[in-house]
Every structure is written in structure tokens, then in C-alpha cells.
Amino acid sequence: MSISDLGEFGLIDILTRGFTYGTGVIKGVGDDTAVLAVNGDKWLLFTTDMMVEGIHFSLDYCTPGQVGGKLLAVNVSDIAAMGGRPTHALISAAIPPQLNTSVMNELYQGLKEAAQEYGVNLVGGDTVSNRERLVLNLALLGEVEVGKAVYRDGARPGDSIYVTGTLGASAAGLYLYQNPDSQCSPRSVDYCRLAHAVPKPRLDAGSFLASYGVTAMNDISDGLASEMHEICKSSGVGCLIRETCLPVDPRVREVAACAGLDPVNWALFGGEDFELVFTISPDAQEKMKSAASAAGIEVYHVGVITRLSEVVLEKDDGAVVPLRRGGYDHFSK
């Protein structure tokens, strides 16, 4: 069997099968970050993400500074999904020798500006040569109060499902970068392109939601459908997502109309929105919504956790259909 037959998540399941942990590991493989015990009143959060030129970014339409900022932002989003705060980062880069030094200088300037924005210390890393393309990796530490981390496996039947913002803008932005002749309004083009090139992780929202007892949380990196499959698998539940409740910005709808595409597909499967999807018990949601409104945090009710193990979508016409995982798979055919 080839890796492409397995797919990304099947490969991860095989590679991590049989992992064993010592007493210092609170949470290992299977969530947005690992959670490690250290002395004191905080747990250590540990995550890493890799970005490969031509797959995760293109210097044809993203500036090097945007790439550097995004490298940190996608990792910060993982910390946010655990209800934590980021602290220290290491950066590794495999760099084509022929690349102009100005590219790396600008990339690192974007990285430093993002680090200042999110309160992260850049404490080291590694550089190697790579003939073909630029490859970047960032490992990020964070912290959360002992016992306060939010995992994927806490969703329970009857819990409500929310997201922290509108969906599909990043996918729309990628479409516009790849189809520069699209006839859409400048307002919509600028909004969607910026959403793709300069994502904003919901760091404050993550720690806020953790304080209001959300039962499970994920960041939306691979698409809402994919994240809900992860939450449901980890929690041993199912869910129903309502198409009519999916929050899609009018500017995204305009781009979809120009492209002749359904914006719902971008909202469900586009990915890289880096909003948070979370579940909360019905008796806690009204207090959370009121406090979120007062704090200026947008939340949208998009579905419900069910007892069945199925992940389904309620269409506009009321029909209920299976909701495929979708999202980006590095190894799919």
C-alpha cells in the first residue's frame, strides 16, 4: 500500500501507533498541541508546523514578510485552540543557495513583527541548504494553567457547536491569487487576499473561551468539516452542521459568484481560516455568548453534537446528508 492510498491522517495513525509516554506527558499525539507537565502552576504546550514553497505558499503572490508572519501565526493558532498563550519559538529553514538574501531578510522581518504582536520570543533555530525550494519549520512553546487546557475529546451529545468568525475567506483569497483576472470588486479582492496571506489567529478568543468552560476546541486550519471529524472521532460522538447557519462574509459570496462556485464549499472545506470551532453545553452557552459580545468576540452557532457517530450536514432544504471530511490532505491522490 502506498502512502497516497493511506492519506495523511491514515499515515499519522500508523506512524504514531504504540507511542508510549512517561509521567511528564499530560497529552501526546492527537490534539492541536502536546501538553507537558513542568514544575509550577502552568502546563507546557508544544506544537510545530512546516511550510513548503509551492505547497503552502508561493512567493509569486505572497511577500516574504507575509510568509514569515504566517509561519508563526499558524502555530500560534494551535496554542489558541488549547486555551493557552505562546511563549518561545525555534525556526528552521532549508534554503536554496541561489535565493537572494533580501528574501530571507524580509521573511525574518515579518516573523519578528508577528513575534512582537503575539508576545513570542524567537530563541534560535537551524539553517540548511536545499536545492529545489524553500522549506520552513517553526516549533512553538506555550503555556496554560494546570487543568485548564481544552482538548478535542470533550464534546458531549447535546453540546452546541460554534465558530469564532466567518469562514471561507482564505480559500477565496487563494482562488483570487491563482486567478488574478477575476472580475470582482477591489473591496472583496483585498479582503479575501489579505485573509489568505495574513491570517490572524484567535489568541484572545481561545483563552476567553477556555475560561467559560467550552468542552472541546480546534483551530480551523484544514476546514470546518475536517476539524469536526477530528473532534467527533476524539470524543466518540457525531454532529450535525446546519448549512443555513454557516457564517460567510458577503465579500466571500461575491468572489464565489464571480468564480461560479459555491461559497459553502469554501466554508466547509477551504481551510486556513484559523478561526476556532468549539463545543459548549447548552446551559453554559447563553452566559458565554453574552460575555463574548461584551468582549467584542464574534461567535456563530453552527450545529449540535449528536449521539450517533456520523458527521452530517443539514442542507438548506432540510435534507440531511453525510459530511465528508474534505480539507487538504498532503498525500491524497
Binding site for substrate: residue ranges? 56, 272, 328
Per-residue confidence (pLDDT) for residue 331, from 0 to 100: 64
Binding site for Mg(2+): residue ranges? 32, 47-49, 78, 126, 219, 222
Per-residue confidence (pLDDT) for residue 333, from 0 to 100: 57
Binding site: residue ranges? 32, 47-49, 56, 78, 108, 125-126, 152, 219, 221-222, 272, 328
Q: Cα–Cα distance between 175 and 10 in angstroms, integer? A: 28
Q: From its phi and psi, is residue 217 left (phi > 0), alpha (psi between -120 and 50) or beta? A: beta
Per-residue confidence (pLDDT) for residue 8, from 0 to 100: 78
Per-residue confidence (pLDDT) for residue 43, from 0 to 100: 97
Q: Would you give per-residue pLDDT tens digits along the chain (333 residues)?
A: 888 787 777 887 888 888 888 889 999 988 899 999 998 899 999 999 999 999 999 999 999 999 999 999 999 999 999 999 999 999 999 999 999 999 999 999 999 999 999 999 999 999 999 998 999 999 999 999 999 999 999 999 999 999 999 999 999 999 999 999 999 999 999 999 999 999 999 999 999 999 999 999 999 999 999 999 999 999 999 999 999 999 999 999 999 999 999 999 999 999 999 999 999 999 999 999 999 999 999 999 999 999 988 999 999 999 999 999 987 666 665
Binding site for ATP: residue ranges? 108, 125-126, 152, 221
Class at the top of the CATH hierarchy for domain 160-322? alpha beta
Over residues 272-301, the pLDDT tens digits come to: 999 999 999 999 999 999 999 999 999 999
Q: Cα–Cα distance between 130 and 151 in angstroms, integer? A: 36
Q: Where are the domains positioned within the chain?
A: 3-145, 160-322
CATH homologous superfamily for 3-145? PurM-like, N-terminal domain (3.30.1330.10)
Over residues 2-50, the pLDDT tens digits come to: 887 877 778 878 888 888 888 899 999 888 999 999 988 999 999 999 9
Strand partners, 65: none
DSSP string, 33-102: SEEEE-SSSEEEEEEEEEEEBTTTB-TTTS-HHHHHHHHHHHHHHHHHHTT-EEEEEEEEEEE-TTS-HH
Per-residue confidence (pLDDT) for residue 306, from 0 to 100: 98
| pTM of the shown model | 0.94
All 3 cell numbers of residue 141?
A: 512553546
Domains 3-145 and 160-322 share a fold: no
Q: In what order do the strands lie in the sheet with 216-219?
A: 216-219, 276-280, 160-163, 300-306, 238-242, 311-314, 320-322
